[in-house]
Amino acid sequence: MNLENIKEYLNTSDRFCVANDMKITVISEGYAEAEMPISDNKLNGLDVVQGGAIYTLADFAFAGASNANKDDRRCIGSASNINYLRPGTGTKLKAVAKIIHAGRKTCLSSVDVFNDQNKLIATGTFQGFMLDKQ
């Protein structure tokens, strides 16, 4: 498992995240952080970050954590739950994903999203299905 290759692959191949300025900034086995600068195109009508942008950032961090596994297997999301705790404001958001269960066929991750004042704005769980090695 080459973590830098996984990070580079996600940061260049996930076209939706690239188009929305999201980047995996930290990656280790079962752990990842993703960041997104807040800009006008990510705001809703109330001038706070749109919930879908927050969700996507959390999902992207999950992708980093779930694909950084010792078996070098790819993972795709299969279910998720997110709770929004406060509006997304500031200059950037950071999502932190940690694998809390890694089984043969599935994994489960907790993901927390913070604003630039390190206040928790959203938290969730993301489940993934582990693909067989190619």
Sheet with 75-84: strands ordered across: 23-28, 31-37, 92-102, 106-115, 120-130, 75-84
Structure-token match 């693909």, residue found: 131
The CATH number for 45's domain is: 3.10.129.10
Its domain, for residue 38, covers 3-130
* Angstrom distances, CA of residue 60 to CA of 46, 74, 134: 24, 14, 22
Q: Residue 72 has what pLDDT?
A: 83
* Angstrom distances, CA of residue 114 to CA of 72, 82, 94, 125: 29, 13, 5, 15
Q: Residue 52 has what pLDDT?
A: 97
- Return the closest-CA partner of residue 36 out of 47, 45, 49: 49
127 Cβ contact list (under 8 Å, min separation 6): 77, 78, 79, 80, 106, 107, 108, 109
How many structural domains is the chain composed of? 1
Does this model's pTM top 0.75? My answer is: yes
- For the chain, which ranges sit under pLDDT 70? 1, 134
